[in-house]
Every structure is written in structure tokens, then in C-alpha cells.
Structure 1
């Protein structure tokens, strides 16, 4: 039983896979699971012609494991935010060909180029997105630790104001 993924059984029966089974699976975009059967050359050819996947099992727990794996594969991945740092905007800086970046001081943790950020003005979150550029003076850097000053460019945001704060984070995929 899975609260996110619903598996529908569109038919069941006994005996070899029939043309009707293949037709039903084809129009339902389903696969056929067979337990304790041997594939015949005729049924394999009919399945290939109908472009329907037929799986054969002789051990029941292998069938159930396969169904569970398929259900997990159908789920949308979920991610959790892992906080990495906190940044204060000192001043907006206009950079030719880059636009306006935030001249900033890293207060806690670190900032990573390509990482994620939430930008706040007071208590209001104005923007959430990726860090597109990270500079230390004129040099591109990958990461900037606490206590350092840097220039931070964000995807889709340029209206920085002195005193804005940013929380940086990375996304970590949660296991199902």
C-alpha cells in the first residue's frame, strides 16, 4: 500500500497469456505479470508484436519485490533543504555583462556557486533561486566561507538593497 502511487490491476486470470490479455494490457499501457508459467514461443511473439511487456516469475516474493521497486520508481523524488550559511548584502554592484550582483559578507557557514538561496528584506522573502555567480574580488570562486566578502549573482533577481539577508542551502534527495 503506497499513499502516493496507485497500482491498478486491470485484469487477472489463469493459464497462458492470451491475445485478449495482450490487447487489454496494450490499451491500458500496462505490463503483464505471470506467476508459475513458462513463456511459449507463440506468446512471446504475440507480446512483441503487441509491444506489451510480459514478466514471468517462479518465486512469489520476486514478483512482489519487482512491483514494489516499480512503485518506488514511479514516485516523484522529494528533496529536503540543508542549510549551509547566512549572508548579508553590503551593497549592490553593477558588473558589465553580468548585471547587478550583491556585494556581500558571509556571516555563517558558507556560500556555494550553483547552490540555492532565499533572499529576505526584513522578514519578507523576496526571492528563492539558484546562485548563478560567486566572485571574490574579480575572481570566480566555487565556495566562500564565513567571514569573507564576495559578490553573489542570483538567477532572475537583481534588485538588491543594503541590509538584505540570504540563507543559503543545498538540496538533498530523500530516500523513499
Structure 2
């Protein structure tokens, strides 16, 4: 029952977000809206400044681009509230929303778009300026695992002893390593274990061992975000 309620809540949030975005696009296409408002949050100041400069160049005679805020750090509830009040899209570059901000965005229909490549930001905002919605790499969120201990294993390297706090971790899924809600690495798992056994997945409230392809900068307290990705047509 609880899982069904969570799925219904997520679906309602997604519908609200898409509805708000569709309304904005319809107004732009009809000439009733002459501005696209954007709120930029990034992992470092240089990225925030580069994204701001890039999107401001995308304006044309009929539709302007306004950057409400360009700053560093995780997306907070106040960011979502500002975006809601201004009908803005939040551009998140290598950062994530807090759980409270994520829930508020779903409830209020605020569109948060996650990126790790600047030209993809430019492509999407350019489509919005034209009154169209860009194809979106929709991520299916799988789960979070918190790193509780880090082990050094001969011939393997560092292995993260984790506890799955939400959802599920699957072998072969995409992963991001978050430190203070900032993405410090994106890649793939090289191993997923329960005790000494290789497994296909590990569910919430269970421990597991994770290692990452070509990456060893692991610390206790880091969070592993697990996801699957698919391209959604416009």
C-alpha cells in the first residue's frame, strides 16, 4: 500500500510538472509569453557563470531569456519557491535537490532538469525559447545507498560498504556519487555484492558492497544515487 501511494504521488508530481511546462510552451507559441525564466544551480562557480552566459545568448527578438539566479550548491526549497513564483525552469548542473526540495517541486509542478554537459543545457533552453519541448533523457530513479565504510581490497581497490536507504540498487545500473548533494562522479558499478556473493540487486534496508569502474575517491557519508535512463521523445 505504501509503495502504491508513493508511486501515485510521484506520478501526480510528474503530471503537474509537465502540465506547467506545457502551459508555458503554449503561451510562448501563441505569443502570450515573451520570456523564459531560468534558475541555475551548479557544482562550481565557473560552471554557473558559463551556463548563465550561454543561455542569455539564446534570446531572440520575440522571446527573452532571464536568469533569476545563478549560484553554487544543492537545490533547496527556497530555490523551488522562487522558480514557482516566476514560472521558471531550474537547471541543475552536477548538483541535486534536497529531498524536501524534490518533493516540493513535484507537488508544485516545478520542472527541474539535470545536466552534466553544458551544450545540452543550451540545446534544451533554445527549444524552450522556440516554444518547443526538447527530448529529455528521463531517468528512472532506482534508489540511494549510503557509504558506511570504505575497504581497501587487494587487486580490486576500494570497495564501499553501503546501506540501501531508499529503493533498490541494481547490477549494471547507472550511478552517481554525491558528496554534500553535489555530484562528484558519474559512471557504472563494477561490482555489487551481498557479503561475498555477486547479486543482481539489493533492496532497501539491506547492506551491500559496491565498487566503481575506474574510480576510488570514496568517503564515509557519500551517497550513491542509482538510476536507469531512457530518451523520451518531445
Residue 228 of structure 2 is aligned with which of 164, 170, 175? 170
Q: Who is 1:36 aligned against?
A: none
Query: What is the 5 A alignment of 1:3-42?
Result: none
Q: Which has the higher contact order (CA 8 A, sep 6+)?
A: 1
What is the aligned residue count? Answer: 100
Using structure 2 for the length normalisation, give the TM-score: 0.40
Query: What is the 5 A alignment of 1:1-176?
Result: 79-175=137-233
RMSD across aligned positions (CA): 1.6
Between structure 1 and structure 2, the one with the greater Rg is: 1
Q: Residues 93 and 102 of structure 1 are in contact (CA less than 8 Å); yes or no, is this contact kept in structure 2?
A: yes
Unaligned 5+ segments in structure 1 are: 1-76
Distance in 1 between residues matched to 2:161 and 2:192, nearest whole Å: 10
Distance in 2 between residues matched to 1:157 and 1:147, nearest whole Å: 25
Residue by residue, what CA displacement relative to the aligned partner does 1:29-80 show, whole Å, maximum 9, x if unpaired? xxxxxxxxxxxxxxxxxxxxxxxxxxxxxxxxxxxxxxxxxxxxxxxx9632
Distance in 1 between residues matched to 2:190 and 2:169, nearest whole Å: 12
Secondary structure of 2:205 counterpart: coil
Secondary structure of 1:104 counterpart: strand
Distance in 2 between residues matched to 1:80 and 1:98, nearest whole Å: 32
Distance in 2 between residues matched to 1:174 and 1:96, nearest whole Å: 42
Residue by residue, what CA displacement relative to the aligned partner does 1:112-165 show, whole Å, maximum 9, x if unpaired? 111011111112211011111101111111100000000011112112111001
Using structure 1 for the length normalisation, give the TM-score: 0.53
| 1:95 Cα deviation after fit | 2.1
| 1:97 Cα deviation after fit | 2.3
Distance in 1 between residues matched to 2:206 and 2:159, nearest whole Å: 16
